[in-house]
Structure 1
Amino acid sequence: MQQLNSSHHLQLESLTRLISLPDETLEQQARDRIDQLTKPPGSLGLLEEMAIRLAGITGEQTPDMSKKAIVVCCGDHGVVEEGVTAYPSEVTEKMMANFAAGGAAINVIARQTKADVYVLDVGSRARTVPDGVIDCKVRPGTDNMASGPAMSRDEAVQAVMTGVEMARRLKQEGVRVIGVGEMGIGNTTPATAIAAVITGSPVDQLTGRGAGVDDAGMLRKIRVIEQAIRVNQPDPQDPVDVLAKVGGLEIAAMAGVMLGGALERMPVVIDGLISTSAAMIAVGLSERVKPYLFASHLSEEPAHRILLEKLGLTPLIHARMRLGEGTGAALLFPMMEAAVALMREMATFADLGLEGP
C-alpha cells in the first residue's frame, strides 16, 4: 500500500497490524474434544472444522453464538449509466427503506435465524436517508469507472474505516458473529472487475447476469468491465487502488466490517459475489483476516466460485441463490450454532464407558 498522510490511511494501516491470529491451543483442544465425541472420526465434516475454527477465533471452546447481526452496506454506482443492469439506481434507496421497514428477504431470514439487521448508507444517491438506516455516507455514489476512477483513495479508505467502526460498535453491543451483505444497483459490475484484477481471470469467464440483464446486456457488461480495467489500470498488489478505481463504497465498507471483525476476534460470515469481492480486498489489506472468514453459500455468479477458491474457503450451502443482502450469510448462522452445540452437548466415548476411536 502506498504511504499517504491522511489520518484515515494511517489509522487503517495501524489497525491491520493489530489483528491477531486465532488461538491454536484452543483449536487443538476443540479438535481433541471432537475426536472423543460418540461418532466416527470426521463424520460431521465441515461442522467439525467450523466448531474448531470458532473456538480458536473466540478463545472459547464452546462460544456463545446467541447474539448475531447482519450488516447490510448500501451504495450506488456511476457505472450504471453504461447500461450494465436491468434496474435504475433509484431502487437502492427504495430497498434501503424496505430493509428499515423489515420487508426485505434479509429481514425475513434474519427473523427466522434470530439475527438483528443493521443497514448502513455508505454511498447511496438518496438525498434523504430513510429512518432506521445508519447514515455514514462518504459520498452520493461513485463516479463511472468506465471513464475514470470510481472514487479517490481517501474516499475508499474512509468507507473501509466506516465498516471497521461498525464492527467494533457491534462487539461493544455484545454481538458475537457478523454476517455481511449489501445493496447497490449495478454492484456485480465492480465486484466482477475486482475479481478480474485480483485473480487475473478473463472478464468474460467471470461475468454473470447480476439482477437479470439479457444477452445484449451481458456483452455490454463485459465490455464495460474490460474498459474500466483498461482505463484505470488498477494495481492488483494494492487493494486500496483496486477499490478506488473499480470498486464501490459498499464494497469498501464490507471489507472494513471484515477487518473490524478480525480485529475484535469475531467470526465474519460472507455472502455472495459482492461480499466475497470485499473479502478479497480485506485479505489484501491483511492476510490475518482470512482465518476469521466463513463462506456461507455458493452464488450463481460465476466469479464467486473463483474468488472462494482463491480465498481457500468452502461454502456449506448450495442453494442457487444470487440475491445478496446477506441472505446466504444469515442462513449459515443456525449451522454455526449447531456446530457449537454438538461440541457442548454430545456425549463422549468416556461418558459411555468406551475407549475412544
Structure 2
Amino acid sequence: MPIEFAEVSRPDDLPRTRSRRPFGTLDTLGDWLAACQGRTSPTPPRRTRIVVFAADHGIAAKGVSARSPEATRKLVAELRDGGTPLGILAGETGSGVRVVDVAVDNDDTGEFKIRRGSGSIDSEDALTSDETERAVRVGMRIADAEVDEGADLLVPAELGVGTTTPAATVVAALTGTEPVAVVGRGSGIDDNAWMRKAAAIRDALRRARPVVTEPLELLRTVGGADLAALTGFLAQAAVRRTPVLLDGLTVCAAAMLAEELAPGACSWWLATHRTTEQAHALALEHLGLTPLVDFGIAEGAGTGTAALLPLLSMAARLRSASGEESSERR
C-alpha cells in the first residue's frame, strides 16, 4: 500500500533564525526546545537517542571516496563497540546510540536489512520500488519504537562509504543546481577523486531529472537505503511531535524529501552545524534552516550534533531560569 504520513502538527511560535536576545545561540536552543515541548520553561532532554543508519553505496566502487568500500563494515563494528568520534562523544554526553544496518555489504540478515549495498547510481537505480518503500517504512518503525520507548530528542545520522555522492545528487536535483556546485571533498578526496565524483553526480543527476517531483522515485533512482530510511525516520518523528537535531549533508538531503512527504515536518527540526560540503549549505537554505555553529567539520555522521548536546541542556536550564526571573519581576 502507498506510504502515507499523518498530518504534522506544528509547534507554536517556533523561532526560525538566531535569537537577538543576550544569550544568542543558547536563547535559540531554549526557544526551540520550549516550543517543541509546549511549555514556557523547557526541561533538559531526559532520553536522547542517536540513531545511525548504515549502508554501502555501489558508487563507492568508482573511487569517489578516500576510503575503500570495505571500510563501512569496520566503522559499524567500531561504533557498536563505542569507538569512532560519534561513539566517543555519545558516551561523554550519556546519549544512547542505535546502529541500524539497512544496506551494509555484509552477511547480516537482520530484520531491518534491505539489501547488500545499493546500485551504482551513475548507471543504475539505487534500489527497487519495493526496497525503497521497505526502507522508508523501516525508518518510520524505528522512529515509532524510539518515541514509544521514551525518547524525547532524536539525532539521526548516517554511516557508509560514498554516502555524500547520492546525497549531493538529491540536493542538486531538488534545487536545480549544477553538479560541480555540489561536489565536496567528503572524506578528504584528492583532485582526481573529486573529478570522478563530479562525473558520477553528473550522470546520476541526468537519470534523476525525470523523477525530481516524486520523492520515492528519486530515492529509488539516485538515493539509497540509508537515505530512504532517514526520510521515513524524519517524517515520522515529526508526526510523533518529537524534536530532531539535524546533522550533516546526508541527513539534510533526506530531510528535504521528508518535508515533501510530510509537509510541516521541518518545524520539528533544528540544524545544529554547517559542514564544509557545498551541498549541505544548499540543503539548509532549501529547508529554511539556519545552523547554530560552523565547526569546519567535513563530514556529518552525527559528530557535530553530538558535540552540541550539552549546550541543549544548558539552554533549557537558562531559559527556565530566565522565565522564573521574569515572573518574579512581574
Pair in the same fold by TM > 0.5: yes
Counterpart amino acid of residue 146 in structure 1: D
Counterpart amino acid of residue 164 in structure 1: M
Structure 1 stretch displaced more, 55-64 or 203-212: 55-64
User: Equivalent residue for 1:35?
Assistant: none
User: Equivalent residue for 2:76?
Assistant: 96
Secondary structure class of the residue paired with 1:348: helix
8 Å contact from structure 2 (residues 208, 218) kept in 1: no
1:330 positional shift: 1.4
2:264 is the alignment partner of 1:288 = yes
Counterpart CA distance in 2 for 1:41 and 1:94 is: 44
1:319-342, CA deviations, whole angstroms, 9 ceiling, x for partnerless residues? 111232211121232222222111
User: Equivalent residue for 1:118?
Assistant: 98
Counterpart amino acid of residue 53 in structure 1: W
Counterpart CA distance in 2 for 1:288 and 1:165 is: 20
Counterpart CA distance in 2 for 1:255 and 1:234 is: 20
8 Å contact from structure 1 (residues 159, 252) kept in 2: yes
Structure 2 residue runs of 5 or longer lacking an equivalent are none
Counterpart amino acid of residue 197 in structure 1: A
Counterpart CA distance in 2 for 1:117 and 1:220 is: 34
Counterpart amino acid of residue 253 in structure 2: S
1:232 positional shift: 4.4
C-alpha spacing 1:17/1:188, structure 2 compared with 1 (3 Å): same
2:196 is the alignment partner of 1:216 = no
Counterpart CA distance in 2 for 1:231 and 1:290 is: 27
2:16 is the alignment partner of 1:19 = no
1:145 positional shift: 1.0
1:64 positional shift: 4.4
For residue 176 of structure 1, the aligned residue among 152, 164, 168 is 152
1:135 positional shift: 5.0
1:41 positional shift: 6.9
Counterpart CA distance in 1 for 2:326 and 2:72 is: 54
Q: Which has the larger radius of gyration?
A: 1
Secondary structure class of the residue paired with 2:220: helix
User: Equivalent residue for 1:44?
Assistant: 23
C-alpha spacing 1:155/1:41, structure 2 compared with 1 (3 Å): closer
Counterpart CA distance in 2 for 1:179 and 1:332 is: 11
8 Å contact from structure 1 (residues 148, 232) kept in 2: no
Counterpart CA distance in 2 for 1:42 and 1:349 is: 14
- Structure 2 length as normaliser, TM-score? 0.92
Structure 1 residue runs of 5 or longer lacking an equivalent are 1-6, 31-39
8 Å contact from structure 1 (residues 234, 246) kept in 2: no
1:157 positional shift: 2.0
Structure 1 vs Structure 2 CA RMSD: 2.0
Counterpart CA distance in 1 for 2:306 and 2:265 is: 20
Counterpart CA distance in 1 for 2:45 and 2:118 is: 36
8 Å contact from structure 2 (residues 8, 263) kept in 1: no
Counterpart CA distance in 2 for 1:41 and 1:17 is: 35
1:17 positional shift: 3.0
Counterpart amino acid of residue 238 in structure 1: E
8 Å contact from structure 1 (residues 122, 135) kept in 2: no
User: Equivalent residue for 2:49?
Assistant: 69
Counterpart CA distance in 2 for 1:232 and 1:261 is: 27
8 Å contact from structure 2 (residues 249, 299) kept in 1: no
The runs of at least 4 aligned residues of structure 1 exceeding 6 Å deviation read none
2:166 is the alignment partner of 1:190 = yes
Counterpart amino acid of residue 142 in structure 2: M
Counterpart CA distance in 1 for 2:292 and 2:249 is: 15
For residue 59 of structure 2, the aligned residue among 79, 82, 85 is 79
Secondary structure class of the residue paired with 1:287: coil
Secondary structure class of the residue paired with 1:106: helix
1:81 positional shift: 2.2
User: Equivalent residue for 2:316?
Assistant: 340
Figure out how many residues of one structure are paired with residues of the other and give that number: 325
- Structure 1 length as normaliser, TM-score? 0.86
8 Å contact from structure 2 (residues 173, 208) kept in 1: no
Counterpart CA distance in 1 for 2:68 and 2:210 is: 27
Identity of aligned residues (%): 33
8 Å contact from structure 2 (residues 276, 299) kept in 1: no
Counterpart CA distance in 2 for 1:193 and 1:297 is: 21
Counterpart amino acid of residue 6 in structure 2: R
Structure 1 stretch displaced more, 333-342 or 98-107: 333-342
8 Å contact from structure 1 (residues 149, 232) kept in 2: no
